[in-house]
Amino acid sequence: MTTERSGTADAGSLAGRVALVAGATRGAGRAMAVELGRAGAVVYVTGRTTRDHVSEVGRPGETIEGTAERVTAAGGTGIAVPCDHLEPERVAALVARIDRERGRLDVLVNSVWGGDHLLRFDTPLWELDLADGLRMLRLGVETHLITSHYALPLLLRAPGGLLVDMTDGTAAFNRAYRGNLCFDLAKNAPHRMAFGLAAEVAPYGATVVSLTPGFLRSEEMLDHFGVTEENWRDAVAQEPHFAVAESPALVGRAVAALAADPDRARFSGHSLSSGHLAKVYGFTDTDGSRPDGFGYFEDVVLGGKAGTAEDYR
């Protein structure tokens, strides 16, 4: 599993491939779409926030049209399709459109979430707002199931398809309770989805993994700390663990490298992280570092091993 391999997805290495990134308006979803495009793929990007409509997340500056334009600017072909992945008929129509326009689907990334605004940590179930908790489960679990249900027949039409179920935390890290039962369930479910679906798709030559970024410097996280990508280290004074933070590009490069790897089936059914795949494939973050966020949290924060965040960059 940890054999070193050099290189990352080269420009054009995914030429002719078709990808769907479900939930691509911001953060990891946007970065994965852009990096798949940088490698030459046609990328359908979906989400609920468009230039004419803002989702419940309430971040109007981050739209699927903006993501599609970044995909195209990076060298791919970005196609924005508004879609609420909790509506089965819309997901079915989306997949039918991809089939009609491209006749294939090579990469599916289930990255829908949008539940952070519902989170209350360190609150027992009986004190939670039940509607908020159930909404998190719908956003983090039901959307993935619906999308895979409709997209897998197209993905499995030819051998070699890749399904990535995005989550927060590796399977090892998520053995520690995440402080909110509904959030904990939502973020552990993708690991079981990958495990189960890997068995179901194995006869078709497809690969299924769960994947997490490390401590992600998403647009929302930067806003939370009152910093920008240029001065993000100023936030370390507020949160020392933020010293191991990574830009969204790292997990984007992880997905692109995985999609371009003809031997990726060796990972099927596994829980992966951007930091681990950076070591496997030899790519770095935008600043040239190679942060391993969940290696740091598993070893030092939870495991008690001596070390600092800088040791894991």
Share of the chain above pLDDT 90, in %: 94
| Res 37: pLDDT | 98
Instruction: Say if pTM beats, i.e. exceeds, 0.85.
Output: yes
Going from N- to C-terminal start, the domains of the chain cover 18-235+247-290
At 171, the pLDDT band (50, 70, 90 cuts) reads very high
Express each pLDDT in 289-300 by its tens digit. Answer: 999 999 999 999
Q: Say if residue 221's pLDDT is above 50.
A: yes
Express each pLDDT in 131-160 by its tens digit. Answer: 999 999 999 999 999 999 999 999 999 999
| Res 181: pLDDT | 97
| Res 10: pLDDT | 86
At 8, the pLDDT band (50, 70, 90 cuts) reads low
Half-sphere exposure of 292 (CA within 13 A, CB side): 17
Express each pLDDT in 237-290 by its tens digit. Answer: 999 999 999 999 999 999 999 999 999 999 999 999 999 999 999 999 999 999
Q: Say if residue 218's pLDDT is above 60.
A: yes
CATH of 18-235+247-290, one of 3.40.640.10, 3.40.50.720, 3.40.718.10, 3.90.1150.10: 3.40.50.720
